[in-house]
């Protein structure tokens, strides 16, 4: 059996024509799948039982569901999503006064093994299909409306996995999310975050994408970056800087640098100076300085406020557009780097 949502419209239309069905059936089926978000063919109540039976013999609809949700004191909502094969990923709704942001996952686990990230200590089991990513977004949008009576305004691919290592499904999901038949969201309200896959950053440029790009930098020299992000050994800073400039040349889309501060590792004024040097080589709009969120598997610590303020002050004096990003959802392990999808543990 095939996933009904993966069948091209022209193929489905040909099948229905061969069965003697009128053309308007295509619109009915699409509405059931994408507007009403059904989880089974049996739910298509305005379609005859005979046609439903025929469709059921060939196709199925593998829906994603919310297995459990947790609510933070700051309003953040973390959800564990159950996939059709009983694997799990996590996603987060981050509410502010002006925005409703969905942080979504692109892979079950991750292969990059970043030392500060809970997901990095998991084995990558598989990529999410594009329709599973769309389901994540749709479910978080429903949570936003139910909890805050507001629709999603932004989406960030900053959850579990490396989006650029699931390139085709990520791109197809964004195409659906931004289409009038999906959420109709502007691509400018979508940010894809990467640990630094130079080849695929260049591919984004060649594909002329309209969404924003964020680079998880976290160290501004190769030695330190190699230590905490093994991907840097094959995608060093020189290669990444060249790829980001190529991306911007092709797309003119915004680039953000993400930099987590780790106590006594990358928080000195020397580290700040190296960050300034990297910043000046990249057409970045912003540097997000991020509070470190502890995980059991790593020994990193968050620097004290005096060190953080000194770091931020140095960036400001050197005309770096930097913002200190306060973590949300720490009390439910929903903050940056904490998504772990522990399948054996009840949330």
Least confident range of 36-40, 260-264, 283-287: 36-40
CATH for 2-60 (1.20.1260.10, 1.10.1050.10, 2.60.40.10, 1.10.150.530): 1.10.150.530
CA distance 249 to 177: 25
Query: Tens digits of per-residue pLDDT, 85-128?
Result: 999 999 999 999 999 999 999 999 999 999 998 888 888 999 99
Whole-prediction pTM: 0.92
Cβ distance 59 to 4 under 8 Å? yes
Average of per-residue pLDDT across 292-300: 84
Residues sharing a CB contact under 8 Å with residue 44, sequence separation 6 or more, in sequence order: 28, 29, 32, 38, 52, 55
Q: What is the pLDDT of residues 193-219, one digit of tens each?
A: 999 999 999 999 999 999 999 999 999
pLDDT category at 182 given cuts 50, 70, 90 is confident
- Nearest CA among 177, 93, 190 for reference residue 131: 177
Q: In angstroms, how far is the first alpha carbon of the chain from the final one?
A: 33
Query: Is residue 345 pLDDT above 50, yes or no?
Result: no
Catalytic residues: 90, 336
pLDDT, residue 146, reads 96
Class of residue 317 by CB neighbours under 10 A (exposed 0-12, middle 13-18, buried 19+): exposed
The residue that leads in pLDDT, 338 or 344, is 338
pLDDT on residue 347? 35
Alpha-carbon dihedral 197, 257, 135, 171, rounded to 10 degrees: -40
Decide: helix, strand or coil at residue 56. helix
Domain range annotation of the chain: 2-60, 65-332
Buried b (16+ CB within 10 A) or exposed e, 204-235: bbeeebebbbbbbbbbbbeebbeebbbbbeeb
* Of residues 330 and 334, more confidently modeled: 330
Mean pLDDT of the chain: 92
Give dist(CA 247, CA 339) in Å, integer: 28
Residue pair 169/106 in contact (Cβ under 8 Å)? The answer is: yes
Q: Just give the CATH number of 65-332.
A: 3.20.20.70
């Amino acid at each position: 059996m095939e996933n009904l949502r993966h069948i091209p419209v022209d193929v489905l239309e040909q099948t229905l024509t061969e069965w003697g069905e009128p053309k308007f059936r295509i619109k009915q089926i699409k509405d059931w799948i994408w507007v009403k978000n059904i989880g089974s063919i049996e739910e298509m109540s305005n379609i005859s039982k005979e046609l439903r039976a025929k469709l059921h013999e060939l196709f199925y609809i593998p829906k994603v569901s919310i297995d459990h949700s947790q609510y933070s004191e700051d309003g953040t909502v973390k959800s564990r999503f159950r996939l059709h094969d009983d694997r799990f990923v996590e996603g987060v709704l981050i509410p502010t006064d002006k925005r409703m942001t969905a942080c979504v996952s692109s892979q079950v686990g991750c292969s990059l093994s970043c030392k500060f990230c809970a997901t990095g200590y998991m084995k990558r089991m598989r990529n999410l299909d594009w329709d599973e990513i769309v389901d994540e977004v749709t479910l978080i949008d429903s949570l936003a409306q139910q909890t805050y009576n507001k629709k999603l305004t932004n989406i960030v691919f900053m959850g579990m996995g490396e989006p650029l290592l699931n390139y085709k499904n990520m791109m197809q999901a964004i195409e659906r999310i931004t289409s009038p038949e999906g959420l109709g969201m502007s691509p400018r309200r979508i940010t894809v975050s990467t640990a630094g896959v130079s080849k695929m950053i260049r591919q984004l440029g060649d594909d002329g994408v309209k969404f924003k790009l964020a680079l998880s930098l976290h160290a501004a020299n190769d030695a330190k970056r190699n230590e905490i992000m093994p991907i840097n050994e094959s995608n060093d800073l020189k290669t990444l800087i060249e790829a980001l400039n190529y991306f911007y040349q092709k797309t003119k889309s915004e680039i953000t640098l993400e930099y987590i501060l780790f106590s006594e590792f990358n928080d000195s004024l020397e580290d700040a100076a190296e960050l300034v040097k990297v910043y000046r080589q990249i057409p970045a709009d912003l540097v997000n300085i991020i509070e470190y969120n502890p995980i059991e598997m790593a020994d990193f610590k968050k620097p004290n406020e005096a060190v953080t303020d000194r770091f931020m002050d140095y960036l400001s004096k050197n005309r770096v557009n930097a913002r200190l990003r306060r973590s949300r959802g720490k009390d439910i392990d929903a903050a940056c780097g904490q998504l772990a999808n522990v399948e054996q543990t009840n949330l």
